[in-house]
Chain A
Amino acid sequence: MSDMKPNEAPEGDENGEEKDWAAAKAFFENLKTNKPRPPKPRYAVTIAVSSRTLFNMVAERKIYEEDGMEKYVAYQVEHENEPLKPGAAFPFVKALMTVNARLRELYPDSEELFDIVLMTNNHAQVGVRLINSINHYDLTIERFCMTGGQSPIGYLKAYMTNLYLSKDSEKVTEAIEEGIAAATMFMPETEIKLSDTQLRVAFDGDAVLFSDESEIIVKQHGLDTFFEHEREFENKPLAQGPLKCFLEALGKLQRKFYAKNERMNCPIRTFLVTARSAASSGARVLKTLRSWGLEIDEALFLAGAPKGPLLEKIKPHIFFDDQMFHIEGAKELGTIAAHVPYGIGQKYHRGKLIEQPAKDK
């Protein structure tokens, strides 16, 4: 799922790709400003954010839903010189920029950086306001797709997106089905002060980093069977989940800091926040990560305790979980949460199976 990018261009396309890249490089180097130029997509960790996750467009969205497309576009155009307020993904994007600045200091010629792309369904006329807002906050976003209503999935794939963040759960589900790590973002109910020197990313375990195979056992056979099963299969790695490759991409960048003796001062920190308990089912998770050659900086086993209070202490720029129950708990206490609509957890709400309408065979 969501494989790391191939290192070579497809057959026959190398000349075109190199030509576009060389011209862009020259273009940016000739600019009078000191703008950092965007990295070569093949080597970068590409993060695609939608307009509604980057900026707060709740009021505008209401106009779209109540008054229709024409009024919505007209409103946006009328207000296009007013910068939008930051959205749920804004702190995450700022943190990515901080990491990039540190990477550029240590590796001035490397293309292994975060590449932030704006991927929106919005109409290009609304795009003017989006561009003005990006300018206002001086965000390093040079690439964007404003599809005017068309699905963004094709572009996500074409540009080897490593992570896609949106407010629209349907698009997120579609992306996951196409093998792209994706999550639906939620704005927290209160604001927590987050680090501005370190990117902090928290992940749930089952059905996020790992497949939902164990969660299926819990839902269908209960906790006792789950504990037994996990003990029995402790040494068998779990299958990978939709966000595994994103963790891998973060790890690759972390190692660049370690290589320059910056482990103590590394601007990326990763957390595993799982309902599993260390005593019984935790070992399998750690062994799986080890078998994949992945590190996680802190693993927190809650043994079923609520995640909200712990996340409040961790203060991640983003927290990924597959269960809405945990997302809601995180939001309440001010954590920026992102729902991963994957696996058996989607069919349950607070432990009860959601009745699905009968499907025609």
Chain B
Amino acid sequence: MVSTVRNPEAKQKDAQRALVVALTCQELFHLGGAEVSSSEPYAPGVAFPLLQAMQVVNERLLELNPEETLLFDVVLLAADCQQHQDRIIATTRHYGLDVSRFCFCSRDEFTHLLLRERTHLFLCTDARQVATASHTGVAAALLQPAPSRPTQQLRVLFCTDPADRPGTSQQVCQVAGLLGAMRSRLGVACGALSIILLTVQGGRESCGRALLTLRSWGLGVDEAYCLAGAPGGPALSLLAPHILFPDGSALQA
């Protein structure tokens, strides 16, 4: 049973023109262990800083052009959360979050819902869910846990190194194009959005090629790091991205 509820408090985006991002309810808020009857707003979850950063990007875009339609359009997916429905909506309103709509469904309808909502990008901390979505034809990336130093800037990281299983590059190419268009509207000097490229295993040639591939997809990279085998851990913790695209095999084409 799928039900879609619009958020009356949020300004609805033009879904044809916006960049539709799907988040899971379980990651935006801390739902676990809460009493069903309570009416207190849920505590923020791991996706909260990401959503706030996306909102800042939207604000900047609208400052530059109040008629802007290329904005982040956030859809909140809630699988098996029907009993929490009212409280989820109330919590979203409590924090004034820019979530356009809520989709309540059961777990097995999840991926179908992603496609139905024409999701450009599904974000989740669970690598398996990310892989499943990719295989279904929806671009997906890893949502990273909150960094130790909080930042207002939305940081999106592309990793060039091939993952174990290649994902579908066409969807990533499309998302990259949309992100790129957003990035160029904001202008090089704007600090609200940063596109980062990380090459862990390859060297200069790999990184250079990936920079040009992303550029050919319409996405200009702001920061590039090439490790050529130096440990990836320290770099990743310094870079502190919100979103991580793990599979780079397409970028080596």
Asked if B2 lies at the interface with its beta carbon under 8 angstroms from chain A, I say: no
- Residues in A95-113 with C-beta less than 8 Å from chain B: none
Q: Are B232 and A20 in contact (CB under 8 A)?
A: yes
The answer to whether A146 touches B224 (Cβ under 8 A) is: yes
Q: Is A242 an interface residue (CB 8 A)?
A: no
Q: Tell me whether B201 and A69 are in contact (CB under 8 A).
A: no
A90: interface (CB < 8 Å): no
For B230, the chain A residues whose CB sits under 8 A away are 20, 41, 143, 159
Q: Assuming A70-B189, A131-B208, is B238 touching A20 (CB within 8 A)?
A: no
A70: which B residues are within 8 A, CB to CB? 187-189
The answer to the question of A142 belonging to the interface, with a C-beta cut-off of 8 Å to chain B, is yes
Given A16-B231, A38-B228, A38-B229, does the pair A69, B212 have CB atoms closer than 8 Å?
no
Cβ 8 A contact of B211, one of A127, A147, A148: A127
**Alpha-carbon gap, A209 to B207, bound state (A):** 37
A79: min CB distance to chain B, Å: 16
A38 and B235 in contact (CB under 8 A), knowing A68-B189, A123-B188, A143-B226? no
Tell me which of B31-39, B67-75, B104-112, B215-223 binds A: B215-223
Interface window among A24-32, A265-273, A286-294, A349-357: A24-32
Question: CA–CA, A147 to B198, complex, Å?
Answer: 11
Beyond A41-B230, A70-B187, A128-B208, whether A142 also contacts B203 by CB under 8 A is yes
Do the beta carbons of A25 and B187 come within 8 Å of each other? Answer: no
Q: Is A17 an interface residue (CB 8 A)?
A: yes
Tell me if B222 and A20 are in contact (CB < 8 A). Answer: no
Does B188 lie within 8 Å of A142, measured CB to CB?
no
What bracket does the count of chain A residues touching chain B fall in?
35 or more
Chain B residues in 8 Å Cβ range of A158: 234-235, 238
On whether the beta carbons of A17 and B231 are closer than 8 Å, the reply is yes
Docked Cα-Cα span, A155 to B207, in Å, equals 18
The count of residues in chain B whose C-beta lies closer than 8 Å to any C-beta of chain A is 34
Q: Is A145 part of the contact surface with B, judged by Cβ < 8 Å?
A: yes
Complex contact B223–A147 (CB within 8 A): yes
Tally of A-B Cβ pairs under 8 angstroms: 116
Q: Judging by beta carbons under 8 Å apart, are A28 and B203 in contact? A: yes
Within 164-214 of B, Cβ neighbours of A (below 8 Å) are at 187-189, 191, 194, 197, 200-204, 207-208, 211-212
Check A142 against B189 for contact (C-beta < 8 Å).
Answer: no
Complex alpha-carbon distance, A38 and B200, angstroms: 13
- B224 near A124 with CB under 8 A, answer yes
CB-nearest residue of chain B relative to A73?
A: B188
Interface string of A154-194 (1 = CB under 8 A from B): 11001100000000000000000000000000000000000
In the complex the two chains form, what is the Cα distance from A128 to B226 in whole Å?
13
Q: Contact between A24 and B221 (Cβ–Cβ < 8 Å)?
A: no
Asked if A20 and B188 sit within 8 Å, CB to CB, the answer is: no
Nearest opposing residue in chain A for B232, CB measure = A20
B208 engages A142 (CB within 8 Å)? no
Per-residue interface assignment for chain A, residues 127 to 156, with 1 indicating a CB less than 8 Å from any chain B CB and 0 otherwise: 110011011000001111111111000110
A233 located at the interface, meaning its Cβ lies under 8 Å from any Cβ of chain B in the complex: no
Are the CB atoms of B201 and A23 closer together than 8 Å?
A: yes
Whether A144 pairs with B224 at a CB distance below 8 angstroms is yes
Cβ < 8 Å to B, chain A residues 9-56: 9, 13, 16-17, 20-21, 23-25, 27-28, 35, 37-38, 40-41
| Known A-B contacts A69-B189, A70-B189, A131-B208; A146 and B201 likewise in contact (beta carbons under 8 Å) | no
Residues of B within 8 A of A150 (CB): 223
Q: Are B204 and A144 in contact (CB under 8 A)?
A: yes
Contact assessment for B226 and A144 in the assembled complex, using a CB-CB cutoff below 8 Å? yes
Given contacts A125-B221, A144-B204, contact A154 B238 (CB under 8 A): yes
Q: Is B233 located at the chain interface by the 8 A CB criterion?
A: yes
* Max count, chain A CB within 10 A of own CB: residue among B161, B188, B197, B233: B188
In-complex Cβ contact of A40 among B189, B204, B229 (8 A): B229
Q: Choose from A16, A23, A124, A155 the contact partner of B229 (Cβ within 8 Å).
A: A23
Taking a contact as CB atoms under 8 Å apart, the answer to whether B238 and A155 are in contact is yes
Whether, in the assembled complex, B48 has its beta carbon less than 8 Å from a beta carbon of chain A, the answer is no
Q: Taking A125-B220, A146-B223 as contacts, is the C-beta distance between A24 and B235 under 8 angstroms?
A: no
The contact of A141 among B161, B204, B223, B231, by CB within 8 Å, is B204
Chain A CB count within 10 A is highest, among B203, B204, B208, B230, for B230
How many Å lie between the Cα of A155 and that of B202 in the bound state? 18
Q: A20-B231, A38-B229, A146-B225 are in contact. Are A69 and B238 (CB under 8 A)?
A: no
Q: Does B62 belong to the interface (CB within 8 Å)? A: no
Q: Which residues of the other chain, A, contact B202 by a CB distance below 8 angstroms?
A: 24, 27
Residues of chain A lying within 8 A (CB to CB) of residue B201: 20, 23-24, 27
Q: Are A69 and B223 in contact (CB under 8 A)?
A: no
**Chain A proximity mask over B131-150: 1 for CB below 8 Å, otherwise 0:** 00000000000000000000
Distance in Å: Cβ of A81 to nearest Cβ of chain B: 12
- Is B46 positioned at the interface, with any CB of A under 8 Å from its CB? no
Contact, CB under 8 Å: B231 / A128: no
Give min CB distance, B107 to chain A, whole Å: 32
Partner of A124, one of B191, B222, B231, B233: B222
Question: Given A20-B200, A28-B203, A144-B224, are A159 and B188 neighbors across the interface (CB < 8 Å)?
Answer: no
CA distance A37 to B204 in the complex (A): 11
Q: How far is the CA of A128 from the CA of B224 in the complex (A)?
A: 10
Q: Specify which chain A residues have a CB less than 8 angstroms from the CB of B81 in the assembled complex.
A: none
If A24-B202, A158-B238 are given as contacts, then 18 extra A-B residue pairs at C-beta distance below 8 Å, sorted by A number, are A16-B231, A17-B231, A17-B233, A21-B231, A24-B227, A37-B229, A69-B188, A70-B187, A124-B222, A125-B188, A125-B220, A127-B221, A132-B208, A141-B204, A143-B203, A145-B224, A149-B191, A155-B225
Q: Which 4 pairs from chain A and chain B are nearest by CB?
A: A24-B229, A142-B203, A158-B234, A124-B224
